[in-house]
Amino acid sequence: MKTKFQAIKGMNDLLPEQSAVWQKVEHLLRRLMQQYGYGEIRMPIVEKTALFKRSIGEVTDIVEKEMYTWTDRNDDSLTLRPEGTASCVRAGIEHGLLYNQQQKLWYMGPMFRRENPQKGRYRQFHQLGVEAFGFNGPDVEVEQILLTRRLWQEIGIANDVTLHINTLGDPESRKVYREILVEYLQSNFEQLDEDSKRRLESNPLRILDSKNPKLQSIIESAPKLEDHLDDESKEHFESFKGLLDGMGVSYVVNPRLVRGLDYYNRTVFEWMTDKLGAQGTICAGGRYDGLTEQLGGQSTPACGFAMGIERIIALAEETEFGQNVSNASDIYLIAIGSVAEKKAFNIAEEIRTLFPSLRLSMNFGGGNFKKQFKKADKSGARLALILGEDEVANESCGVKFLREEKPQESMSWDSIADTIKNYFQLLDR
């Protein structure tokens, strides 16, 4: 019996009928990165395991439970990247991009976490990451917020997302707060769930972000980080909010927003929606001034964010932006007879040269007019060009508008280009 292979659980195929909206969103993202002055960087999907342990934190859920890690033939521990910031910082240090410089970088590609697959959460998923290095003030943070807001507006989901913000202070003030929080949580130890008990010594701030309804009263009564912030962090956060106010950006100050990665400090933010069930966060980030030094580089202020492409696609598909998008052909070239089939290649290549944005399909495998017209219709093309031996002899071509009630026309080869140009200019592409 032959083995029937299937994709690994949580790692999905993207089929042609699905890829069109992906391409449209990705094209928009690339344009926005260019508009805001970010340069693309591409990193490997495999890194040394120690990179993620040091950056993300050894006692985080990602490192403890979710990473795909193995030992290679050289006895090196390697990991499929679970996120992109650590790799970006590593690349910046390695290639001398960061010290005493200002860099605005972006990347897009697959990440890997062994989570429980569900809507909006996969084991191989895709992220857009944006990182800015060498900027101390809140202004670059606000620019990143404005970039994401523009994305929501262009996709048509601006009314479906809410910005949550918080500040975590500097490492010293957070250390003081951590001790106070641990003392409080230990006094309620018996009421904590197993995850919270495990995090109590390793990452107690993450307990504040617990979704367990039984813990909500304890969390609400916990000491507040904002009461223990250093003055500089308070001033930074007030400036950040003031700039957002000046740009008319609505936000919610959420003191329970702490982020799941150890490297964040000061400003953190998340864009959330109620349109995707439990997977409400579609974009998240913040400031991580200590990470570059932590990974062996010189001290460098930095901030950035990542967004889940699958979640953005799910929202986009419900809007006008993401609907009626396809990879269907624009033009289908029908040729009858060996002479016409040969000439069809010349015409097709000329059209592709003149109109590189249009999708042209040629008929292969022969067939009569009826059969070829069925293929043309099935392709989704709006325009069919018909070439037979008579048309070749007369240097003409038949033109059929497949989606409109118009009679078939015959025109010279010289006229075809103008017809295609005028017709597709009228369409909203």
- What predicted TM-score, i.e. pTM, was given to this entire model? 0.86
CB 34 within 8 A of CB 147: no
For 343-374, what is each residue's pLDDT tens digit?
A: 999 999 999 999 998 999 998 888 888 898 89
Domains parsed from the chain with CATH numbers: 16-170+230-322 (3.30.930.10), 331-425 (3.40.50.800)
More confident residue, 190 or 157: 157
Q: Model confidence over 36-65: pLDDT tens digits? A: 999 999 999 999 999 998 887 766 667 778
Please give the average per-residue pLDDT across 234-252, as a whole number. Answer: 95
In whole angstroms, what is the distance from residue 165 CA to residue 243 CA? 13
Token duo for residue 201:
């010594």
Q: Summarize the confidence of residues 229-254 as an average pLDDT.
A: 94
**Over residues 243-261, mean pLDDT:** 87
* pLDDT > 60? residue 429: no
Mean pLDDT on 90-114: 95
Q: Which residue has the higher pLDDT, 145 or 116?
A: 145
- Mean of the per-residue pLDDT values of the chain: 89
pLDDT, one tens digit per residue, over 305-324 is: 999 999 999 999 989 888 87
Q: What is the mean pLDDT of residues 181-210?
A: 81
SS3 string, 203-247, reads CHHHHHHCCCHHHHHHHHCCCCHHHHCCHHHHHHHHHHHHHHHHC
Residue labelled with tokens 């809507």:
119
Give the model's pLDDT for residue 195.
78
Could you tell me if 207 and 199 are in contact, meaning their C-beta atoms sit under 8 angstroms apart? yes
